[in-house]
Amino acid sequence: MVRQARMQYMLEDLVQTCVLQLVRAWSRPDFALDRRDGGRAFARKVMRDVIADAVRGRDRDLSSPVREFPEVPVEADEGDHAREVRLKAIDRFLAEKLTDRLYPVGRLAIVEGLSQAEIARCLKIDRHTVGRRFKDVCKALEPYKETIYDEVLGDVTS
């Protein structure tokens, strides 16, 4: 098959790919040979499939029907650093505006995005207490409703 396709230059790569697929298949715990030929028929089928895939790949027309691709503006993804800086700014804002009793609940809810049950587990307090403190956090942030972006803090102040 390799000679017919005039792909002798790829023979080593094809054999290596085939061997890799066979090793992966035979090393699975659920793989069982149900024939007496020692897996030769299975190996032949795998090799045939590998060669057929390579021939199909070579025969594909990689040219594009479109002469020029349109310019599409791509927005830069904010990196982890920018996200981290923004979260630190939010954290500082919360530390300034909330009391020591409310700050841990506000920080875990707004910055970390934890649920009330998760906050209760972290702080080792009752979930209902977390709910009451979170309402107090919302009341404390109410005067800043016009200056706090909902996309940053979520729907905390409404």
Query: How far apart are alpha carbons 74 and 68 in whole angstroms?
Result: 17
- Top-ranked range on mean pLDDT: pick from 18-27, 100-109, 146-155: 100-109
Mean pLDDT score, 26-36: 72
134 C-beta neighbours (distance < 10 Å), count: 19
Structure tokens at 123: 């702080």
Please tell me the distance from the alpha carbon of residue 158 to that of residue 154, in angstroms, as a whole number.
Answer: 9
**pLDDT at res. 158:** 42
pLDDT at 119: 92
CA distance 88 to 72: 33
Q: Compute the average pLDDT of residues 73-93.
A: 76
Residue ranges of domains in the chain, CATH in brackets? 1-60 (no CATH), 78-153 (1.10.10.10)
Average pLDDT over residues 140-145: 83
At residue 150 the predicted structure's pLDDT band, cuts being 50, 70 and 90, is low
pLDDT reported for residue 157: 46
The arithmetic mean of pLDDT across residues 116-137, rounded, is: 91
Using alpha carbons, list the distances in angstroms from residue 124 to 97, 102, 127, 135.
Answer: 23, 14, 9, 18
For residues 47-54, average pLDDT? 81
The pTM of this model reads 0.46
